[in-house]
Amino acid sequence: MNRSSSWVLLTLILAALPSFIRLPWWVAAVAVVGGAWHYAGKYRRGWYGRGLNLMLLAGAIGGVWYSFESWFSGEAVLSFFITVVFLKWSEARTRRDFLLLIFAAVILAAVGALYFESLLNLAHMLVVIFALTLSLIAIHMEGARPVFLLRRAGLLVVLGLPLMLLLFLTFPRIPGPLWDIGLAFGLPVKALMDRGAGDHGNSTVLEPGGIQRAQQNNDNVLVAEFEGAVPFKSRMYWRGPVFWDYDGENWSLPDGWDDRNRLMKTAIRSKAQLDRLIHTKETPVRYTLRVMPNGGRWLYGLDAPAAAAPESFISEDLQLLSIRRIDDQEPKLQMLAYLDYSAGNELTPEQRSRALAWPEGSNARLRALGRQLAAEHHSAGEIIHAVYTRLASSGFRFDPTHVIEPGADLLDRFFFDEKRGGVEYLAGAAAMLMRAAGVPSRLVNGYRGGTIIALTNFVIVKRTDTHAWVEAWQDGKGWGRVEPLDIIAPPPEEKSAAVKPKETPQSATVVEMKPAGQSEQQPTEQPRQDKPAAKAKTPAARPDAGWSLPDWALVFTRMQKWVINYNPDRQMELLKGVGLQQSNWVDLLIGGVSGVAGLLTVYGLVAWVRGRRAVDRVGRSWAQFCRRMAREGIARSDQECPRDYLARICRERPDLTSAAEDVVGRYIDIRYGGGPDPEAVRLFRRQIQRFLSMT
């Protein structure tokens, strides 16, 4: 057992390696002591063994307390898990202990893969699985030679790889965390969630980089269940704060905007009032909204709400707000919304000046450009079009992770120099550009899209879906949405299968502008295809790939695309490549299962053929002979030796005497005579064949 257990240790160390690098040093220290303690022979038994283990465990708990803020943060749990695994190793003796450890190693490797998602990690995972296979064989076969183990494990892994590839490509992917699915169906998952971050509804300022920060957070914001088909993700705008005021750096809400009396005074009370405000209403969508506590009044209704629900009201900016703050409860509302709309009758002079305000002395270049646009075009619609054209043709790149140094003339630097950044720069710049051109505009913050839970009508909106967009005022039409992001990074084409055919993919304002943008967006489409994040990671995976062979970088990017970033869309792409145009997850499942069955059949056939060839040929031929004789009426009984059998044949069937004598004589010679003689075996088998054809 000793030798095989070392393989288990190897597996454990390999599996925990990425975690060691990431976690505090004491985790590795405890692991090393625990790992060495296993080999301490008799010292590790008895009370001193237990004592040391207890001390190490206490040390680990102390380490968790010292190093981490929370007892149950992911890293704290992982650290504790690793130490416990290695302490278990120190006292492991039986086969079952080792099995447990091997399985724990798999979990460790999986958790490692959660943190580092790169091709290097893929290689690491393969190595861990190889070590696991090896240890499994080793603990089930005591005293096996390493070469034997390596060959066996290698064979298993090599045979497993095609199966893995097949399963990987064809297994239907269900997007999103599983607890989302539970959440969607009203399971009490809430209790498990972290309640600390539930106060994002209180912020009143949109800072540069704020959206990117919000997107790092994976908390749920709301769950919506749609009646009928779920709209396109790109068309779902969940409306939050509406910002009018820009100070050159931040967008902010006025002080006291949250005041209940003020809000109720300006709120849209009646249906008639709302109807007067919203001119065009198309594409009605009914849904049930469930909002997670956010500490503010935000209900994030889908743009634009058609009526308020109980306990809520619609503000003058068309936001759906709760009368009470949502601190603890989860409001659940039946809602109707119009995805295509334009709203607003007239702007008061005060509103117009707010929507055109420009912080003095900032972003001069942007302002000059706006004035130029105003001079060239007359109507607001034309200016909006011009802004779109400008955005599309200037080579902007959408890069949520790019942070622009805060400071003066932020938008100028974004718009004219850096030309890449998150959505708040883009929307902010577009809004201010239009203000400079004399078009009243404001910035809306909220969420766009969401995660559609597979096979259901549920959409979960998370903070990762945080978005900002622009609304521009056109006299006679009212406020209309301007979406700069779609111009520089068009949303991926979505399947229409789940959506009502009458719906058009773009909202009214965007459709109008689309042709201009469409023609010029081709060159900018490239960066969208492989994610910027993935690109950034490639050099980390193989730092030397860049200079030695440039092609390698491409290969790795491709692999990255197909392995790390494989997703349901790629899966469908693949099916189309095979020639299946209309396919769904059932096809995938069928394809995968039949593929695996086919491969296994091939393996089985190979094994069968090899096994067949190996069976004793002399015995087989002899059995043939005996069967034939049995058909002739002389069955050999089990205890009858060949010589007796021959005697009986001669007695009962004298006509077969000479043939039988020959065959039986050869059989006796081979079986009971000298050593193996291939020639004799060959002759014997030929004689049997002859005998069989004769009789």
Partner 1 sequence: MASILSLSIPLKRPFGGRIKKMRMRLAPAGWGFLGLIGCGFLLSINFSNNLIFAMTFLLIAIALAGWYFTRVNLGGLAPADWRAEPVFAGQQAVFRLQVENRAAQARHGLRMHASGAQGGGEVSLAPGERAEMALRRPAPRRGRLPRLAVAMHSVFPLGLFEARLGAGELPVCLVYPAPLGAQPLPDQQSNRNAHQWRESGSYTDMRRYAPGDPLSRISWKALARFDELYTKEFDGAQGQAALWLRWSDVRGSAVEDKLSQLCRWVLDAHRLGREYGLELPGTVIAPAGEEPHLRRCLEALALYGLEETTGEQAA
Place of tokens 């298993």: 156
Least spacing, CB of residue 563 vs partner 1, in Å: 6
Least spacing, CB of residue 490 vs partner 1, in Å: 23
CA distance 241 to 445: 5
Binding to partner 1 in span 624-643, by CB under 8 A: 626-627, 638
**What does residue 469 show for φ and ψ, rounded to 5 degrees?**
-140, 180
Query: What residues contact residue 218 under an 8 Å CB cut-off, 6+ apart?
Result: 462, 463, 464
Using CB atoms within 10 Å of the CB of residue 193, give its burial: 0 to 12 exposed, 13 to 18 middle, 19+ buried: middle
Hey, what are 481's tokens? 């949405």
Cβ neighbours, 10 Å, residue 386: 22
Burial 201-224 (b: 16+ CB within 10 A, else e): bebbebebbbbbebbeeebbbbbb
The yes or no reply on residue 614 touching partner 1 (CB under 8 A) is yes
The yes or no reply on residue 540 touching partner 1 (CB under 8 A) is no
DSSP-derived secondary structure for 187-224: -GGGGGS--TTTTGGG--EE-TTHHHHHHH---EEEEE
Least spacing, CB of residue 116 vs partner 1, in Å: 9
Among 1, 17, 77, 156, indicate the residue that binds partner 1 (CB under 8 A). 156
Least spacing, CB of residue 636 vs partner 1, in Å: 9
CA distance 137 to 102: 11
Query: What is the dihedral sign for C-alpha 558, 560, 563, 567?
Result: negative
226-265 mask for partner 1 (x: CB under 8 A)?
----------------------------------------
Number of H helices, E strands in the chain: 28, 16
Hey, what are 192's tokens? 């498990």
State the DSSP H helix or E strand holding residue 277, giving kind and residue range, or none if neither. Answer: helix 271-277
Closest to partner 1 by CB, 124 vs 281, is: 124
Among 29, 127, 163, 205, indicate the residue that binds partner 1 (CB under 8 A). 163
Closest to partner 1 by CB, 128 vs 211, is: 128
Closest to partner 1 by CB, 188 vs 501, is: 188
Closest to partner 1 by CB, 144 vs 229, is: 144
CA distance 125 to 478: 57
Closest to partner 1 by CB, 508 vs 634, is: 634
Whether the Cβ atoms of residue 225 and residue 279 lie closer than 8 Å to each other: no
Whether the Cβ atoms of residue 304 and residue 337 lie closer than 8 Å to each other: yes
- How far lies 333's CA from each of 117, 241, 291, 457, in Å? 39, 19, 9, 16
DSSP code of 637?
Answer: P
Among 191, 272, 615, 694, indicate the residue that binds partner 1 (CB under 8 A). 615
Among 24, 177, 248, 595, indicate the residue that binds partner 1 (CB under 8 A). 177
Closest to partner 1 by CB, 100 vs 253, is: 100
Closest to partner 1 by CB, 155 vs 536, is: 155
Whether the Cβ atoms of residue 231 and residue 190 lie closer than 8 Å to each other: no
Among 178, 192, 408, 609, indicate the residue that binds partner 1 (CB under 8 A). 178
Hey, what are 661's tokens? 């004598």
Among 8, 139, 278, 588, indicate the residue that binds partner 1 (CB under 8 A). 139
Closest to partner 1 by CB, 74 vs 546, is: 74
The yes or no reply on residue 622 touching partner 1 (CB under 8 A) is yes
Least spacing, CB of residue 607 vs partner 1, in Å: 5
Hey, what are 147's tokens? 């070469």
Closest to partner 1 by CB, 175 vs 254, is: 175
558-577 mask for partner 1 (x: CB under 8 A)?
-----xxxxx----------
Among 24, 49, 160, 532, indicate the residue that binds partner 1 (CB under 8 A). 160
Closest to partner 1 by CB, 254 vs 619, is: 619
Least spacing, CB of residue 160 vs partner 1, in Å: 3
Dihedral angle of Cα 316, 322, 324, 330, to the nearest 10 degrees: -170
Whether the Cβ atoms of residue 453 and residue 181 lie closer than 8 Å to each other: yes
Hey, what are 461's tokens? 């909106």
The yes or no reply on residue 616 touching partner 1 (CB under 8 A) is yes
Binding to partner 1 in span 333-362, by CB under 8 A: none
Least spacing, CB of residue 142 vs partner 1, in Å: 8
Whether the Cβ atoms of residue 122 and residue 109 lie closer than 8 Å to each other: no
Binding to partner 1 in span 574-613, by CB under 8 A: 596, 600, 603-604, 607, 610-611, 613
Hey, what are 39's tokens? 């080999």
Place of tokens 């696991």: 132
Among 29, 57, 127, 157, indicate the residue that binds partner 1 (CB under 8 A). 157
Least spacing, CB of residue 568 vs partner 1, in Å: 10
The yes or no reply on residue 84 touching partner 1 (CB under 8 A) is no
CB under 8 A: which stretch of 84-92, 151-159, 314-322, 485-493 binds partner 1? 151-159
**What does residue 41 show for φ and ψ, rounded to 5 degrees?**
60, -130
Dihedral angle of Cα 433, 436, 440, 441, to the nearest 10 degrees: 20
Among 32, 36, 141, 533, indicate the residue that binds partner 1 (CB under 8 A). 141
Hey, what are 417's tokens? 């120099």
- The site for partner 1, by CB under 8 A, has a size of 66
Binding to partner 1 in span 99-138, by CB under 8 A: 99-100, 103, 106-107, 109-111, 113-114, 117, 121-122, 125-126, 128-129, 133, 136-137
Closest to partner 1 by CB, 40 vs 107, is: 107
Count Cα neighbours of 619 within 13 Å in the Cβ-side half-sphere: 5
Closest to partner 1 by CB, 347 vs 574, is: 574
Place of tokens 């957070």: 217
Give me the residues that bind partner 1 (CB under 8 A), please: 99-100, 103, 106-107, 109-111, 113-114, 117, 121-122, 125-126, 128-129, 133, 136-137, 139-142, 152, 156-157, 159-164, 167-168, 171, 173-179, 563-567, 596, 600, 603-604, 607, 610-611, 613-616, 619-620, 622-623, 626-627, 638
